[in-house]
């Protein structure tokens, strides 16, 4: 009889403990405490919409390449408002960092920057490893199938870069670029959408990064590259032998849609709380505000002083 009572008591105690632990675990998952990485959104069941933003701990974790001036870059100190790169002795700066800081200041958050390569950015926000991607991404329909976008936080027209003494320096339209070797950064509308519009162009393998793209031009591996205006403006400061080919006043220009030139901030699909918090700030800014901030970033990018 005593054995039966003890067993019943033990079972009852185990049941109480298991229910208590489950309750504690559920609360922790909802709060996302201690990570700043969107873990709460990441724990939401498939097919549901998270009810929180992922920044309940007060830290907005943002991913970028830290190698895409003037949007973002890495530097050795905190000059000009640079912020530490997580798990690194370096600091991040650039337009994306400046904008991220504005968004954090407006919402009372701290900013944490994570450095990832281009192809890892969207998977990171999808998995909840980071809260957002602020990295010069065009707001394309294809990307919008994978993430939600806040913004735009910049409007970027499409241009080409060539060498001042190159055979395409006098080009007046994309038709004048026929026969030239060209490239751009992989996974961008510059490479996938724009370069194919140049009839007769000899499109080379896509570059892994914006710096690699510019080096291909600088070393003569290609005759021109396609990029956006902010990247081009930063490039000509870093490489004085380059010049911008802007065909916007010509009828012979790249055909792009708003989604190609509108630059947005990626958040996890269904994270309306974070999207709305970001849009609340961005909607109060104008294109001139964006351009002024980009000018500040371009002026302080490290290579612009060479």
Q: What does the pLDDT average to over 95-119?
A: 97
Q: Where are the domains of the chain?
A: 39-155+262-305, 158-247
Judge contact between 161 and 281, C-beta under 8 A.
Answer: no
Q: What does the pLDDT average to over 76-82?
A: 97
Query: Is 120 a residue whose pLDDT tops 90?
Result: yes
Query: Is 187 a residue whose pLDDT tops 50?
Result: yes
Q: How far apart are CA 83 and CA 93, in angstroms?
A: 7
| pLDDT range class, residue 304, cuts 50, 70, 90 | low
Q: What does the pLDDT average to over 43-65?
A: 70
* Residue that the structure tokens 């904008």 belong to: 99
CATH topology of domain 39-155+262-305: D-Maltodextrin-Binding Protein; domain 2 (3.40.190)
Query: Is 252 a residue whose pLDDT tops 80?
Result: yes
Rounded to a whole number of angstroms, the distance between the first and last alpha carbons of the chain is 89
| pLDDT range class, residue 114, cuts 50, 70, 90 | very high
Q: Which residues, in sequence order, are CB contacts of 273 under 8 Å at separation 6+?
A: 50, 51, 52, 53, 54
Q: What does the pLDDT average to over 101-113?
A: 98
pTM of the full structure? 0.74
The angle, 0 to 180 degrees and rounded to 10, between the axes of the packed helices 272-282 and 95-107 is 100
| pLDDT range class, residue 87, cuts 50, 70, 90 | very high
Query: Is 242 a residue whose pLDDT tops 50?
Result: yes
Domains 39-155+262-305 and 158-247 share a fold: yes
* Residue that the structure tokens 């009372």 belong to: 108
pLDDT of residue 303: 64
Query: What is the CATH architecture assignment of 158-247?
Result: 3-Layer(aba) Sandwich (3.40)
Residue 145 carries which DSSP code?
Answer: T
Q: Which residues, in sequence order, are CB contacts of 176 under 8 Å at separation 6+?
A: 168, 170, 252
Q: What does the pLDDT average to over 128-145?
A: 95
Q: What is the DSSP string of 30-91?
A: HHTTTT-S-HHHHTSPTT---SS-S-TTSEEEEEE-SEETTTEEEESS-GGG-EEBTTSS-E
């Amino acid at each position: 009889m005593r054995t039966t009572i003890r067993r019943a008591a033990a079972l009852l105690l185990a049941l109480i403990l298991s229910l208590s632990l489950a309750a504690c675990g559920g609360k922790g998952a909802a709060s996302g405490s201690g990570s700043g990485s969107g873990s709460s959104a990441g724990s939401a069941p498939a097919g549901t919409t998270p009810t929180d933003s992922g920044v309940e701990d007060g830290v907005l974790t943002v991913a970028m390449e830290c190698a895409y001036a003037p949007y973002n870059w890495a530097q050795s100190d905190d000059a000009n408002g640079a912020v530490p790169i997580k798990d690194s002795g370096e600091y991040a700066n650039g337009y994306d960092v400046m904008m991220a800081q504005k968004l954090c200041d407006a919402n009372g958050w701290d900013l944490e920057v994570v450095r990832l390569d281009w192809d890892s950015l969207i998977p990171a926000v999808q998995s909840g490893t980071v809260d957002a991607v602020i990295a010069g991404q065009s707001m394309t329909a294809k990307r919008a199938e994978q993430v939600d976008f806040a913004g735009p936080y910049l409007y970027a027209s499409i241009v080409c870069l060539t060498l001042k003494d190159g055979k395409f320096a006098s080009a007046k339209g994309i038709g004048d670029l026929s026969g030239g070797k060209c490239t751009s950064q992989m996974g961008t509308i510059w490479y996938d959408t724009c370069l194919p519009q140049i009839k007769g162009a000899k499109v080379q393998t896509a570059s892994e990064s914006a710096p690699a793209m510019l080096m291909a031009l600088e070393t003569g591996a290609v005759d021109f590259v396609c990029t956006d205006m902010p990247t081009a403006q930063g490039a000509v400061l870093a490489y004085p032998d380059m010049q911008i080919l802007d065909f916007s006043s010509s009828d012979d220009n790249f055909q792009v849609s708003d989604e190609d030139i509108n630059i947005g901030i990626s958040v996890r699909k269904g994270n309306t709380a974070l999207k709305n918090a970001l849009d609340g700030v961005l909607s109060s800014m104008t294109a001139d505000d964006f351009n002024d901030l980009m000018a500040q970033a371009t002026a302080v990018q490290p290579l612009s002083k060479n």
